[in-house]
Every structure is written in structure tokens, then in C-alpha cells.
């Protein structure tokens, strides 16, 4: 069946790879990339692109009507570290963009939505190890508050208006094509770039800060799999816990040393330490495994091998 897909926030860390993967799967003209700014040359050359502000309902509606869009992936958001600096801007972007697509679906102008949540929905009072799907959720960051509120609204729109919205709580994502921007888990990408360019890295988190992480290929596969699942398989309409691996900065440094023995890491924690300390160390994703067959493929050493290989070439 032919379908038309719109990706909002297509030029960011996830959006870039998601756009390319969906174009591979459905053909380039079926996937419309959009963002507030242009993306890298690979993305821009890969198919249609629209400049689009995720907070502008009419502009999104125009694009949806013009391309007869069926599905929207809303990847535009302000991440945890930047959101602490600009709380109101983060709230406006993260919430208004979500309401825009939820309302388009409520008005039957689109039929399916993907919206990413995050481990940031959990907070300092949440049990840290093997964090359950349903547990104490008292996020203490602006970003986390916006993601938790977003989850509540997604479930509300599903129950009240039958909106087919699907979501996962991404852990920190590690990728080589596009740099992340403004997150607390960004160190796990920067470290590979610095290992290759300088053979050393000054980490903004403490050496024993364990966080849940995932390689981008796994994250893209999870995103496409949950969207491809039958509606009755999606039993959770807020957002699914999703896990692959957990490690601290000292462990990722050791993994890098298997390839670059002289690599050195130092630690200079900043305000992001406080954010990281409020998040879980590991995640229980049994529901995603059971409901739609989720299974990760990349552990830390496999991720390191792939990151160094790709960044070297
Ligand atoms: C961030 O660090 O803000 C994001 C996230 C965990 O959602 N990568």
C-alpha cells in the first residue's frame, strides 16, 4: 500500500537517519523531510524537503494537505541540557509541536503519529536499576516534565479521540552521521570524535555515572518496528520503555582503549551531572519485547567498533 510520510525535525540526530531509513523502505518521494533549517548534504540530496516550523499549525497543515500525508514522525524537540537554559522556549516547542500533530490526527487529516519520549520522564525518586515501565515518575528537568506531560496527552488523545499515536522512551543515542545537540547523554558521541582527533576527552559527567544508551541503528529499527506493528499490538499508548545497554564514562573509555590504547579520559562534571543523577541507570523493556517483539542488536563493544570504523572513513 502506498503511504506518504512527513518527518518534522528531519535534520537532527535521529531525524537524519530516520529519514534515510524510511526513504530506503518506502521510496524517496514517499517521505517528506522537514525542519526549521536545512540538514546535511546527504539528507538534502536524498529526497523532498520543506522548511517547516514545528510550532506553526497552519504551516504543518499546508504541507500535510499538499503531499497528502498519512503518517507524521515528530522528531523536533529541545533536549535536556538546552532546555534547562531556556525553560519556556523548551516547553513551547516540545508541547506545541505535539499538540499540532495530535490535533491534525484528531481532525482525521493524518492517520498515524510517532512521537519520541525519553528516559528523562523518570526522576530522582524513581528506582534506578531495571526501571519498570510503570513506576514513580517525578521528572526534575524541564525536558523530562515536557516528555511526561506529552505521554499523558498521547494516551489521552488515543483514549478520547482514537488517535493512533505510538511512542518509545529513547535512552541516550549514539550515532556517527549527525551530532546530537543539547543533551546530557551527548558525551557518549563526543568521546568517539575526540578519541580519534585528540586521543583524549574531558568528560562533563563523573566516571561512575551509569546511564541507559543505545546505538542509532537499534533506535531506528525500534521506531520503524513500532510504527509497522498492528494497532492491537500497541498496548501502551503513553510510551514504551526501550533498552539496549548501560555503561558509565569509564567503561566507554575502556571500550575505546581496545582500539586506541593511548586514549585518555579526564572528568570535569558540570550542570549536566545533576540531570544525569536524576535518571535511571538501567531500563526494563519487557513490555516492548512482549508486545511488538523488540530486541536490541548492539552492545557497547559492537557500538564502539562501528563508531570508530564509520568515523575513520
Ligand atoms: C538527552 O540527553 O537529553 C537525550 C535524552 C536522554 O532524551 N539524549
pLDDT tens for residues 205-260?
A: 999 999 999 999 999 999 999 999 999 999 999 999 999 999 999 999 999 999 99
Mean pLDDT confidence for 119-134? 98
**Ligand 1 center to residue 281 CA distance, Å?**
13
Which whole number is the average pLDDT over 290-306?
A: 98
Give me the active site residues, please: 143
Q: What is the pLDDT of residues 173-184, one digit of tens each?
A: 999 999 998 999
* Residue in the block written with cell 525500534: 222
Mean pLDDT throughout 112-132?
98
pLDDT of amino acid 246: 98
Best residue among 145, 170, 249 to mutate for probing ligand 1, ranked by most atoms within 8 Å of CB: 170
CATH of 172-213+244-312, one of 3.90.25.10, 3.40.50.300, 3.55.50.30, 3.40.47.10: 3.90.25.10
Compute, in angstroms, the gap from residue 174 CA to the centroid of ligand 1.
Answer: 11
| Nearest-angstrom CA–CA distance, 147 and 94 | 8
The reported pLDDT for the residue numbered 282 is 98
Distance from chain centroid for Cα 72: 15
Binding pocket residue ranges, ligand 1, CB within 6 Å: 79-80, 118-120, 143, 170, 172, 183-185
Paired residues of 279 in beta bridges: none
Tell me what the mean pLDDT of segment 26-48 comes to.
Answer: 97
Q: Fold match between 5-119+134-171+215-241 and 172-213+244-312?
A: no
Mutate to test the pocket of ligand 1, among 93, 141, 172, 244 (most ligand atoms within 8 A of CB): 172
**Each residue's pLDDT tens digit, 139-196:** 999 999 999 999 999 999 999 999 999 999 999 999 999 999 899 999 999 999 999 9
pTM value is: 0.98
Percentage of the chain beyond pLDDT 70 is 100
Domain residues of the chain, as ranges?
5-119+134-171+215-241, 172-213+244-312
* Most ligand 1 atoms within 8 A of CB, residue of 126, 142, 151, 173 to mutate: 173
Atom number, ligand 1, closest to the C-alpha of residue 182: 3
Q: How far is the CA of 141 from the centre of ligand 1 (A)?
A: 11
- pLDDT of 2 reads 80
- CB neighbours of residue 86 within 10 Å: 14
Question: How confident is residue 1, by pLDDT bands cut at 50, 70 and 90?
Answer: low
Nearest-atom number in ligand 1 for the CA of 116 is 7
State whether CATH 3.30.70.240 applies to domain 5-119+134-171+215-241.
no
ipTM of the shown complex: 0.98
Q: Calculate how far, in angstroms, residue 117's C-alpha sits from the geometric centre of ligand 1.
A: 9
CA distances from 117 to 83, 148, 253 (A): 15, 8, 28
- Do the beta carbons of residue 101 and residue 74 sit within 8 Å? yes
Kindly give the distance from the C-alpha atom of residue 172 to the centroid of ligand 1, in angstroms, as a whole number: 5
> Under a CB-based contact definition with an 8 Å cutoff, are residues 244 and 171 in contact?
yes
Amino acid at each position: 500500500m502506498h503511504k506518504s510520510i512527513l518527518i518534522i525535525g528531519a535534520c537532527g540526530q535521529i531525524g537524519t537517519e530516520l529519514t534515510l531509513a524510511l526513504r530506503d523502505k518506502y521510496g524517496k518521494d514517499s517521505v517528506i523531510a522537514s525542519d526549521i533549517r536545512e540538514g546535511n548534504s546527504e539528507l538534502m540530496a536524498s529526497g523532498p524537503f520543506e522548511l517547516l516550523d514545528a510550532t506553526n499549525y497552519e504551516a504543518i497543515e499546508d504541507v500535510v494537505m499538499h503531499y497528502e500525508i498519512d503518517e507524521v514522525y515528530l522528531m523536533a524537540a529541545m533536549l535536556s541540557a538546552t532546555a534547562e537554559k531556556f525553560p519556556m522556549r523548551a516547553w513551547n516547542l516540545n508541547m506545541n509541536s505535539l499538540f499540532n500533530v495530535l490535533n491534525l490526527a484528531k481532525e482525521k487529516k493524518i492517520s498515524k503519529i510517532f512521537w519520541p519520549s525519553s528516559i528523562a520522564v523518570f526522576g530522582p525518586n524513581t528506582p534506578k536499576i531495571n526501571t519498570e515501565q510503570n513506576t514513580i515518575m517525578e521528572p526534575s528537568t524541564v525536558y523530562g516534565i515536557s516528555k511526561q506531560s506529552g505521554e499523558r496527552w498521547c494516551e489521552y488523545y488515543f483514549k478520547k479521540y482514537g488517535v493512533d499515536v505510538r511512542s518509545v522512551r529513547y535512552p541516550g543515542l549514539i550515532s556517527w552521521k549527525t551530532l546530537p545537540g543539547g543533551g546530557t547523554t551527548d558525551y557518549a558521541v563526543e568521546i568517539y570524535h575526540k578519541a580519534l582527533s585528540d586521543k583524549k576527552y574531558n568528560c562533563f559527567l563523573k566516571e561512575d555515572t551509569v546511564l541507559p544508551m543505545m546505538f542509532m541503528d537499534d533506535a531506528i529499527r525500534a521506531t520503524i518496528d513500532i510504527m509497522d506493528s498492528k494497532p492491537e499490538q500497541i498496548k501502551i499508548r503513553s510510551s514504551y520503555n526501550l533498552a539496549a545497554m548501560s555503561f558509565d564514562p569509564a567503561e566507554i573509555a575502556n571500550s575505546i582503549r581496545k582500539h586506541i590504547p593511548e586514549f585518555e579520559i579526564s572528568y570535569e562534571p558540570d550542570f549536566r551531572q545533576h540531570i544525569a543523577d536524576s535518571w535511571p541507570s538501567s531500563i526494563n523493556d519487557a513490555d516492548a519485547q512482549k508486545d511488538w517483539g523488540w530486541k536490541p542488536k548492539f552492545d557497547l563493544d559492537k557500538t564502539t567498533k562501528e563508531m570508530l570504523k564509520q568515523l575513520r572513513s
